[in-house]
Structure formats: C-alpha cells, structure tokens
Amino acid sequence: MAFQCQRDCYMKEFVTSVVSCCPAELKHEVNGKKETLKGFNVKLQDTILFPEGGGQPDDHGLIGDVPVVRVTRQGADAVHFVGSPLEEGQEVQVKVDWERRFDHMQQHSGQHVITALAENMFGYKTTSWELGRQRSTIELDTPSVKPAQLQALEEAVNEKIRVHTPVTVQLLSIDDPDVEKVRSRGLPDDHAGPIRIIDIEGVDANMCCGTHVSNLSHLQVIKLLGTEKGKKNKTNLIFLTGNRVLKYAEKSYSTERSLVSLLKTGPDEHVEAVDKLQKSVKLLLKTNLSLLRDMAVVITQNFKNDPQRGNFFSLHKKEGDNEFMNIIANELTTEGTFVFLTVGEEKGPGLFLLAGPSERVAEMGPRVLEMLQGKGAGKNGRFQGKANSLARRGEVEAFLEQQCKQEE
C-alpha cells in the first residue's frame, strides 16, 4: 500500500486511529553508544511518518504527545516505535518533524536528478547512495569523474531547478507494461501494493518509495562538493541540496572569519599562511627534539658524576617522548642502575619506561602498569607503555625506590 506520507509528502499533520500496540525493544545508538530501549510497536490505520527505505532515513514526529523514535516498514504496514503505550482503536493526531522531513525530500529528489543526468550525460550509472546527516553521497559506476564533467553536471542539475521542472507521482500495478520502462534497482522481497513511480518531467522516471518535492524549484540549489575514490573502481559523488547549501555557506563564512582573525590575513592567503605555519612548526619540533636529546645526555652525565648517586634513577619530563627516555635508559642501565622514566601531563596520560636488571623489571613491570592504569609490555630488561594517568607517579617512584634499597 501507499502511505499518506507518500500520497501527500507536504502534509504536516494527520488524524488516524491506532490499529495495534504491543511491547517491543529497539536497539538504538545514542552519542555513539548502543542501547536497548524498551517501548511499544504501534501500527496506525495510515501514517504521514515515512518508514526508512530506498536509502532514505525514517521520519521523526509525534503520535498525540508521544514522540516517535523509529519508523520501519513490515510488508504493507508502518511500525512506529514509541516509549508509551497507546490504546487500540484510539483516534490520534500525527505530526511530522517538518524540518527533518523537508530536508530528506530535498536530498532525495536532488539525488534523483543528479543520478539521471549523470547517466544521461556521461553514462555513469548510480549503484547506491546514502542520505547522510550533513552531506549525501552517490556511488557512481566509474573509476573517476573529470573536473569538467563535475562542473557540467552541476550546471545541468541547477538548470532543471531554475526552469521549475515538475515532479509527479504515479501508482502502477506490478503487471503494468509501463513498469518496465522506468529506472529501478529492484523491489524489496516483502513489497506489497502498487508500484510507485517518481517522474521528473523530461528528466527521469524512477521506481521509488521515498518522499519527494513536487517541483525541482523547491530544491533551491544543488552543490556538488566533489568526488572521492570509492570501492571496486567506483566513485563517490558528494553533494548538498537546498537548506543544507545555505547552512554550509553560513558555516564556511563563520570559519573564514575565524581564520582571518587567527591568521591575520585575508581569505585568499589562508592556504599560504597555514603552509608557512606548518613548516615553522615542523622546524621547531625538529629543534626541540634535538634539544631534548642533548638534555638527555646532560642529565645522564650529571647522574654518573654524582658521588652520592644510588642504584635508582627517576625522572619526569612533560615535553619528552620515547626517544628521550630510551637515550637516558641506554646510558644508565650499563651502570647497573634501575631507571623509572615518565613523560606527559603530571596528572594526565603519558608514557613510561622501566629499565634495569631483567628479572627485577619483569617482576615490577605489571605492578607499575596497575598503578598507572596503563598498557605495556617488556623484554630484555625494558618495560614500557602508555599510562592512562600519571597521578600516582609519586607512589610508583616510592615503591621502586624501596625495592632498590632492599637490594643494596
């Protein structure tokens, strides 16, 4: 069947009734973490909330005052996952999150016109597409797209927007001969009801279940951001449509103003200014590394020349690295000294190194790992790794120093 959202993609509110409501669980991702939500699956007599499909994400909205978390299609039915139960037979008002819906309409219709013209102009067929949260991607069946082709394609799709090209929806029976004339990647196994055709006048007729604009002028503008290498000799074409282009321009301008303030140059000189900064930083890092190496040698010489030195050496250096620690360890372990070194933030994450007699290092290494909440390994008289926190460094130093005194 065709849902009300497919018959009238611009409808924002709709009155219908609850057919069924049963307890359910939904695996949901919140801030990158997967959670299992307990709730209810609700079927309505009809719906204006689009269930995910055809590369288009589902709609968000309300049933009464109950938020709809997910909408999926099961055969001829749309299933709405909600957090609170609804009474069967109850009449309810459904509201769609219009900003999200219209964004999806713009991106999906934009994809159709780009796909059609890329094939008509250059023979590049679309093999898949993704409607992303910030930008969308069309996978084209070609190893590459030339810059001139990209520019020509962008000009062509925007020309179709400027001339107010109509977009209409046709519903055909599955045995209608006209079905064979339209572009399609096939029907899902559980498809039910008539075949829905999205017809962009003079451009494309394509089998599709998604929500679309009624005229390409509603897309406002399409921007082809560029291409990336895809999988198996394919190319990913990245694009924005409509309101996303406006938001992208606003964000780009804000970034540009921030860079003007930071770099003290105009927008046209930003790349050159950043290139100079990177070269300067690279030179400073090289100089700093050289100084750290020299410092490591001086530190070891001072320790060796100290007549009161014991058999334990400990040092923390915020700006050091693994090479700095290894230079010191190489110089001192030949003297039979037990060495404990750390670099990084004093109470934050960092690196550590133990060096000395193999048996003692192997014995004390795991204990140091535990105290520093770290990960590491050791062999041949060395034990080193990453510390999640150096807050207990003082405790580790006292522990190791005590162990060394017991051996004197």
Asked if the model's pLDDT at residue 408 lies above 80, the reply is no
Closest listed residue to residue 59, CA positions, set 32, 110, 99, 23: 99
Segment 100-116 mean pLDDT: 97
Question: What's the pLDDT band for 180 if we cut at 50, 70, 90?
Answer: low
Asked if the model's pLDDT at residue 1 lies above 90, the reply is no
Return phi, psi of residue 211, to 5°.
-90, 140
Asked if the model's pLDDT at residue 48 lies above 80, the reply is yes
pLDDT of residue 183: 63
pLDDT of residue 100: 97
Residue 396: CB atoms within 10 A of its CB come to 23
Segment 31-42 mean pLDDT: 89
**Which has the higher per-residue pLDDT, 390 or 292?**
390
In tens, the pLDDT along 357-393 reads 888 888 888 888 889 998 988 888 899 999 998 999 9
In tens, the pLDDT along 343-361 reads 998 889 999 999 988 888 8
Tokens 């037990």 belong to: 338
Segment 161-169 mean pLDDT: 96
Buried b / exposed e over 22-39, threshold 16 CB at 10 Å, is eeeebeeeeeeeeeeeeb
pLDDT of residue 347: 85
Residue 229: CB atoms within 10 A of its CB come to 10
d(CA 245, CA 251): 10
pLDDT of residue 363: 87
d(CA 346, CA 342): 9
Question: What's the pLDDT band for 82 if we cut at 50, 70, 90?
Answer: very high
User: Please, what is the average pLDDT of the chain?
Assistant: 90
Asked if the model's pLDDT at residue 109 lies above 80, the reply is yes
Asked if the model's pLDDT at residue 336 lies above 80, the reply is no
pLDDT of residue 159: 98
pLDDT of residue 296: 84
Report the chain's terminal Cα–Cα distance, integer Å.
Answer: 87
In tens, the pLDDT along 295-330 reads 888 888 888 888 877 888 989 988 888 888 888 888
Question: What's the pLDDT band for 293 if we cut at 50, 70, 90?
Answer: confident
d(CA 44, CA 93): 11
Contact (Cβ atoms closer than 8 angstroms) between residue 384 and residue 351: yes
Per mean pLDDT, which range of 103-112, 144-153, 220-229, 314-323 is the poorest? 314-323
pLDDT of residue 158: 98
**Which has the higher per-residue pLDDT, 383 or 408?**
383
Tokens 């039979």 belong to: 336
Buried b / exposed e over 93-126, threshold 16 CB at 10 Å, is ebbbbeeebbbbbbbbbbbbbbbbbbbeeeebeb
Query: Which SS3 state, helix, strand or coil, does residue 372 take?
Result: coil
Give the pTM.
Answer: 0.77
Segment 236-249 mean pLDDT: 97
pLDDT of residue 84: 95
pLDDT of residue 144: 96
Return the percentage of the chain with pLDDT > 70, whole number.
94
